[in-house]
C-alpha cells in the first residue's frame, strides 16, 4: 500500500513539471503566465514563441500523462491505480506545486493518458480535435470536443467500465480548466489559432 501511495505522489510531482514555463523562461527569460492565456501549455507557448518551442512542450506533457498509467500497470498491474495516477498527473500539470499551482489546462497530459488507456480511442479523439480546429480555428473548442469524445470511443473498443469513468473524469478536469474559454466561446471573444498574444487575457 505504501508503495502505491508513493507512486501516486510521484505521478503528481512528475505531472507538475512545468514544461512550458521552463521553455519560455529559458528562451525569453519571461514568465509565460503573464502573457496570452496565462497557461503554461503548448498552445500558449506556440502563440508566444512559435512551433519550434511548442513541440518539445507537447512531447514532454504527453509523456507525463502516458507514463503514469503505463508504469502503474507495468509495476502493479492495477487499473484503478493507473487511472488514479493518470488523474494526478493531469492535476499536477494543471496545478503544479513547483510554480505556485498555476499551470496548464491539461490537454496534452490527458491525451498522453488516453494514448495508453485506449490507443484507438485516443487517435479518434485527436482526429476530432484536429477537425474542429481546422473548421473553426478554436483550439479550446477542439480540446473540449476531443476530450469528451474519448469516453465514447472507449465503449466501442474495450468496453472497460473503469476506463470509461476514468476518462470521463479527465474530460471534466479539462472542462474545469477551460471555464474561461467556454465563456469567451459563448460571447464570441475567444481567440482563434494564429492570433499572437503579447499581454495576458483577463
pLDDT at 125: 97
Rounded CA separation 53/37 (Å): 17
How does pLDDT run across 60-89, given as a tens digit for each residue? 999 999 999 999 999 999 999 999 999 999
pLDDT at 160: 87
pLDDT at 176: 95
pTM for this one?
A: 0.91
- Greatest distance between any 2 Cα atoms in the chain: 49
Rounded CA separation 158/31 (Å): 42
Report the 10 Å Cβ neighbour count for 148.
Answer: 17
Cell numbers that stand for 85 in this block: 495516477
Full DSSP string of 31-76: -GGGSTTS--SHHHHHHHH-HHHHHHHHHHHHHHHHHHHHHHHHHH
What length does the chain have? Answer: 202
Cell numbers that stand for 66 in this block: 502516458
DSSP 97: G
pLDDT at 54: 94
Rounded CA separation 197/44 (Å): 8
pLDDT at 197: 52
Residues in the chain, pLDDT under 50: 198-202
Instruction: Determine the Cα angle at 51 with ends 40 and 193, to 5°.
Output: 75
How does pLDDT run across 87-105, given as a tens digit for each residue? 999 999 999 999 999 999 9
Amino acid at each position: 500500500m505504501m508503495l502505491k501511495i508513493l507512486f501516486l505522489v510521484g505521478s503528481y510531482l512528475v505531472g507538475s513539471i512545468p514544461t512550458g514555463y521552463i521553455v519560455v523562461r529559458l528562451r525569453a527569460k519571461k514568465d509565460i503566465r503573464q502573457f496570452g492565456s496565462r497557461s503554461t501549455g503548448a498552445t500558449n507557448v506556440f502563440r508566444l514563441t512559435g512551433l519550434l518551442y511548442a513541440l518539445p512542450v507537447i512531447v514532454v506533457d504527453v509523456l507525463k500523462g502516458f507514463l503514469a498509467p503505463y508504469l502503474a500497470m507495468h509495476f502493479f498491474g492495477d487499473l484503478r491505480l493507473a487511472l488514479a495516477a493518470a488523474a494526478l498527473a493531469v492535476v499536477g500539470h494543471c496545478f503544479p506545486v513547483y510554480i505556485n499551482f498555476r499551470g496548464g489546462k491539461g490537454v496534452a497530459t490527458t491525451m498522453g493518458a488516453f494514448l495508453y488507456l485506449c490507443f484507438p480511442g485516443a487517435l479518434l479523439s485527436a482526429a476530432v480535435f484536429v477537425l474542429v480546429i481546422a473548421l473553426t480555428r478554436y483550439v479550446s473548442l477542439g480540446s473540449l470536443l476531443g476530450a469528451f469524445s474519448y469516453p465514447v470511443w472507449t465503449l466501442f473498443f474495450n468496453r472497460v467500465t473503469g476506463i470509461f469513468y476514468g476518462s470521463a473524469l479527465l474530460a471534466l478536469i479539462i472542462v474545469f480548466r477551460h471555464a474561461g474559454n467556454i465563456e469567451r466561446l459563448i460571447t464570441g471573444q475567444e481567440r482563434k489559432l494564429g492570433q499572437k498574444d503579447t499581454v495576458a487575457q483577463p
